[in-house]
Each structure stands twice: as structure tokens, then as C-alpha cells.
Amino acid sequence: MSPDLLRRRIGYSFSRMELLDQALTHRSHGTPHNERLEFLGDSVLNCVVAGYLFERFADLPEGDLSRLRAHLVRQEALCQAAQALGLGEHLRLGEGEVKSGGFARPSILADALEAVIGAIFLDGGFPAARDAVLRLCRPALAALDHGTLGKDPKTLLQELLQARKIALPQYSVVATHGAAHSQNFEVECVIPELSVRTKGSGRSRRTAEQEAAARAFEQIR
Amino acid sequence: MSPDLLRRRIGYSFSRMELLDQALTHRSHGTPHNERLEFLGDSVLNCVVAGYLFERFADLPEGDLSRLRAHLVRQEALCQAAQALGLGEHLRLGEGEVKSGGFARPSILADALEAVIGAIFLDGGFPAARDAVLRLCRPALAALDHGTLGKDPKTLLQELLQARKIALPQYSVVATHGAAHSQNFEVECVIPELSVRTKGSGRSRRTAEQEAAARAFEQIR
């Protein structure tokens, strides 16, 4: 993918192209790298999302707004947005990171996306950054479900079962694959009373549990 | 103090006065109260302070910027800024809160200040909110010491002693005053090798320790 295509996907034309270059430079590659821009972009992102949620959900109390925001700015969501942009191809990483597949690491992708947001804020001011954030997060914003309010699947499943007075699900790791630094967990979620048994997998036990819970939730609902 | 004087001190003229009224209304008083505005203002404050620190300290790494920001937006700092505005007199509290002295509670003051920032953001946009934040935080920003980087006194004292290879200070509560809901702690900080013995007091043990540490730090330095 050409740098031009990336700029078009981001939807913002930089006056100072070096800011975008810096945003895409991981510290393993050398200085100037993107950590300071990430610090800035993180706060811009939080502010834009807060303003958006405040306006869109005029009746929601503060606690629900906080939860929705946490859902939108979590690493997984940012990583998805970064992948949709094809940001990974444009990252500048040190050799060690390249070899270990760092261009695809969720934390590196999410951080780089925040850094890009910080770069836009510096280059074009708050309105430009807000437009970019709302564009980058559009799929996640569109998928926001007022009812589930950004609750994670395990919480949703638990609430659903409690409402029906059914015993809580049991989670257990049924397999792990791969070496220590790139393990993959396979988890089973069992709800005996409903004869429900679903599986999930992920890079952490928690992620795998969430996936299994999401599947159980869909089956029951 | 008149509402006009408060508006002058805040340094911003609201088009929608009801936003300022809401920002000054604690939930104990009824709806609409200031919790949603506080959520918004908190993120605006963090974003403005991040941008300010990014520009002012062009050489500081991300970790130091984070620590400085945490220092600037902590409850104690916001409470001081709120007191400088005389915000307490203008709060609208429920009867219970009024009786228990809620108008002076640090958390209520700090939250109301954040809500005022959120109200300015809604009324006048990001530039107006940024100007207001920088004005409200001016004393704290002026006092930022590049060397101490927003470290708390206990940390500073510990680092100073470690650098001189002196045993760490001992803190102990020497007295508590007042009823359970409004206790005051008196704490002593002792550094035997230097024959230093200082005292501090505060609404929590931690606050009292910090005050005692600050005094010891000043004596030794």
C-alpha cells in the first residue's frame, strides 16, 4: 500500500508530514519515535469520544458513559481500527521487533493509531483530530448497542443468567498451544442447566473466556 | 461573592448560562446535576494539560509527561484551583451535604471544577476550554519544577536519602483528632541518622505523611 493511500484512508492531509512519519515510528527503530505523540493522542481520543458520547446519549448517566468510552478506546478496538487502515505495513520497527512479528502486535498497532491521532491534533488542531477520530472509529461507533452499553460478554452472560435464576457459567482452559511468548488459549464455557457448551480461543485466558462467553450469550439469547 | 464575579474569575462568558448552573449543581441537590459534565470536563482537562506539557517540555519522555499530568490534575490541585475561584460558595448542594460541610469537601470541589470545564467546552468549544484550563491552572503550571517533575514529597525524600545512602524515613501516626467522618491525622517523619524529626497533618494518613515528608525534604536539601 502506498503512503498516499494510507493518507487517504486516514482522511487527513498533513502539512507537516514528519509528524505522520514520527507517529509511525516505534521506539525500537530509534528516535524520534512515537511515544510522546501516543501520550498526546490518547488524551485527544478520550476527549473526542467523551464529547461524542455526551451528545449522542443525552440521557445516560456518567457511569454508563465511562463504560462505553472504555469499550471504544480499549486496545482491541484501536487495533481493529489500525488494521482497517493497514497501519501495520507502514510502521517503522527495529530489526528485533520485525523478526518477532511486532508489526502485528496489538499493543504496537493501537499505540501507533493513538500517535497518529496526536499528530493530527498537532498539525490541524482539535477539529481535525475530532473528525479523524470519528471517521476511524465509525464502525465501532455504529456497532454501539445502547442496550449492552459496552459491557463485556462475560458480564452480559452473567447478568442474563442471574435474571433467569440460572447458575453461573464455568470456564476452564481445555488446551494451550504454542511457545511461552506466543501462547494461545482454548477455553470452554459450560452452563449445565441449559446444556450449553461453547469454546473460545485467544492470546490470553481472559480473551478466550470472553469469546466463549459471547458465543454462549448468542446461543441463549 | 456575586455570580458576576465568579464568571469574571472563571474568565469566560457563557452563552448558555444554564450550563454553568448545571456544572455547579451537586447530585444531592437534584437533576440536572453535574456528573455528566464532570465526565466530559475531566477528559477535556486531561487533553488540554497533555497538549500544554507536550509543547512546553519538548524533551521529556512520555513517562515524565504522564507523571506531570497526574500531578496537575490530581484532586488536591483541582481543589486548590476551585478554592481560588471561590467555587464553594456557588455550589448547589442537597440539605444533607450542606449540613455535613459538603461545600468544602475536596472531591465535590474538584468535581465541580471539572464540570465547569466541561460546560465551557460545550458552550465555547475546545479553544475556549483550553484558555480557561490554562488560566485556572496557571499557579500550578507556574510552580511546575522541571527537576522534581511532579514527584510527591515522599518519593523525593526517599530518592534524596538513597542518593546519600541514608536509611529511609520512618513514618508514624502520633495523634488523631475528630470524629470518624472528619478525622485529622498527625504524623511524624523521623530520619535518625540526620536527627531530623518533622510533623505533618491532614485528613488522611497519606496526606499527613506527605506534609511531614515535604518538611523533612526542605530541611535536608
Identify whether A32 is preceded by a cis peptide bond (ω within 30 of 0): yes
Q: Is A218 a catalytic residue?
A: no
pLDDT (average), residues B8-29: 93
Residues of chain B that touch chain A, judged by Cβ-Cβ distance less than 8 Å: 35-36, 38-40, 42-44, 46-47, 49-51, 54, 60-62, 65-66, 118, 121-122, 125-127
Identify the pLDDT of residue A3: 73
Identify the pLDDT of residue B29: 93
**Cβ contact, residue pair A66, B39, below 8 Å:** yes
Question: Cα(A93)–Cα(A102) distance, rounded to whole angstroms?
Answer: 7
Residue of A36, A59, A65, A122 to mutate, testing the B interface (most B Cβ within 10 Å of its Cβ): A36
**Cβ contact, residue pair B127, A127, below 8 Å:** no
Contact list in A for residue B65 (CB cut-off 8 A) is 36, 39
Instruction: For residue B37, give how far its alpha carbon lies from the nearest alpha carbon of chain A (Å).
Output: 8
Which region among A201-205, B38-42, B82-86, B150-154 has the lowest average model confidence (pLDDT)? B150-154
Exposed (0-12), middle (13-18) or buried (19+): which is A85, by Cβ within 10 Å? buried
**Any residues with CB less than 8 A from the CB of B207 and at least 6 apart, and which?**
B76, B185, B200
Task: State pLDDT tens for residues B97-127.
Answer: 888 877 778 999 999 999 999 999 999 999 9
Closest CA to B9 of B81, B74, B68: B81
Check B97, B111, B114, B209 and give the catalytic one: B114
Report all structural domains of chain A as residue ranges with CATH numbers, in order of start: 3-142 (1.10.1520.10), 153-220 (3.30.160.20)
> In chain B, what percentage of residues exceed pLDDT 90?
64
Q: Nearest 5°: phi and psi at A57?
A: -110, 75
Question: Cα(A87)–Cα(A106) distance, rounded to whole angstroms?
Answer: 11
Identify the pLDDT of residue B178: 84
Check A114, A186, A188, A209 and give the catalytic one: A114
Position B197 pLDDT exceeds 60: yes
Task: State pLDDT tens for residues A125-170.
Answer: 999 999 999 999 988 888 787 566 667 889 889 988 998 999 999 9
**Cβ contact, residue pair A46, B44, below 8 Å:** no
Task: State pLDDT tens for residues B128-148.
Answer: 999 999 999 988 888 787 566
Check B38, B42, B97, B211 and give the catalytic one: B42
- One-letter-per-residue 3-state SS of chain B: CCHHHHHHHHCCCCCCHHHHHHHCECHHHCCCCCHHHHHHHHHHHHHHHHHHHHHHCCCCCHHHHHHHHHHHHCHHHHHHHHHHHCHHHHCECCHHHHHCCHHHCHHHHHHHHHHHHHHHHHHHHHHHHHHHHHHHCHHHHHCCCCCCCCCCHHHHHHHHHHHCCCCCCEEEEEEEECCHHHCEEEEEEEEHHHCEEEEEEECCHHHHHHHHHHHHHHHHC
Identify the pLDDT of residue A178: 84
Residue of A22, A43, A65 to mutate, testing the B interface (most B Cβ within 10 Å of its Cβ): A43
Closest CA to A114 of A66, A43, A47: A43
**CA B135 vs CA A24, A199, B10, B97: distances in Å:** 34, 55, 8, 29
Contact predicate B219/B205, CB 8 Å: no
**CA A85 vs CA A11, A80, A116: distances in Å:** 10, 9, 11
Structure pTM? 0.72
Beta bridge partners of A152: none
Identify the pLDDT of residue B1: 65
Q: Is B42 a catalytic residue?
A: yes
Average pLDDT of chain A? 90
Residue of B nearest to A50 (CA): B40
Question: Cα(B59)–Cα(A105) distance, rounded to whole angstroms?
Answer: 27
Identify the pLDDT of residue A116: 98
Residue of A nearest to B36 (CA): A62
**Cβ contact, residue pair A44, B50, below 8 Å:** yes
pLDDT: which is higher, A179 or B64: B64
Tally of CB atoms within 10 A around A144: 18
Closest CA to B49 of B67, B74, B72: B72
Task: State pLDDT tens for residues A2-27.
Answer: 778 888 889 899 999 999 999 999 99
The DSSP H or E segment spanning A172 is strand A170-177
Identify whether B32 is preceded by a cis peptide bond (ω within 30 of 0): yes
Identify the pLDDT of residue A152: 81
Instruction: For residue A16, give how far its alpha carbon lies from the nearest alpha carbon of chain B (Å).
Output: 16
Identify the pLDDT of residue A147: 61
